Amino acid sequence: MAAACVNNNNDALIVIVITLFLIITLPSSSMAGSNFNQQVDITWGDGRGKILNSGKILTLSLDRASGSGFQSKNEYLYGKIDMQIKLVPGNSAGTVTAYYLRSDGISWDEIDFEFLGNLSGDPYVVHTNVYTQGKGGKEQQFYLWFDPTANLHTYSILWNPAHIVFYIDGRPIREFKNLEGVGVSYPKNQPMKLYSSIWNADDWATRGGLVKTDWSQAPFTASFKNLKANGCVWSNGVSSCNLSSSNSSNNNNSWLSQQLDSNGQRKLKWVQKNYMIYNYCSDINRFPQGLPLECTLRTT
């Protein structure tokens, strides 16, 4: 009996030690990915934004009086952000649900997903853009190959020193490379927070503003789940990542050097061939003096 008790105590001690080791060594960015109460603050909307189910679900709503929004508690200088979103169902014309990274100030950096609502049965438009030092104008737009209102889908932003990649359900839809070496600005100096919001934009969002919001369908509600922020947290001028390290995988930061392999490039080309509906790099009427430099290099 005494020997059995000793063995049981040793087993329990081993379990405790292993558990403590995992808690200490598992990166905080991975552990903090499932509770909105810990990850974000609802910043506007007067109660139209709600965190539910012990932090597992967040909803944002829009009515005639106001929309709503939230922002992350942390800010990041590079990161891989994943979040599941279920967009506004039915007649969502005139509404915009946004999911983006943005820095502070008048010369801000920004990486945008915006989902432009439409009439029932018509497809959502996924609008993407990249801003550097307050200058954007790098829009690409897509239709989706599924109904984004029927179920949750994962929308991801990869931002590392080499490139920015927009993903949907793990499939890349857009890549914006760091081409500073040839004179193209790239967001790399300003830490950004994650934001999401829903608001009325019926002056432009649906068919250029021709279709207005039908307020009889309000409230318009989008749902969010499983926010995962693997990022270099920026606090008091210091990054949580060792950006000078040549081996970022040691700290579960393999995304810092993540590239698109040949399979990823094939998936990217498939989306752009079949579902892209606007590309600023093809809009010669918009740029009569010549396309932006990155467009001439065929890299976006």
Q: Give per-residue burial for 118-148: e unless 16+ CB within 10 Å, then b.
A: beeeebbbbbbbbbbeeeeebbbbbebeeeb
Contact (CB, 8 A) for 224 and 82: no
Output the CA angle 80-185-76, nearest 5 degrees: 30
Helices (H), the chain: 2-25, 28-31, 36-39, 262-274, 293-296
Active site residue 75: no
Q: What is the CA radius of gyration of the chain?
A: 22
**Annotated active-site residue in 114, 175, 180, 294:** 114
Residue 68 token pair: 């709503």
Of the candidates 130, 149, 148, which has an alpha carbon nearest to the alpha carbon of residue 140?
Answer: 130
Give me the catalytic one of 75, 110, 175, 294.
110
User: Is 139 an active-site residue?
Assistant: no
Copy the structure tokens of residue 286: 């918009």
DSSP 132: B
SS3 65: coil
List the catalytic residues: 110, 114
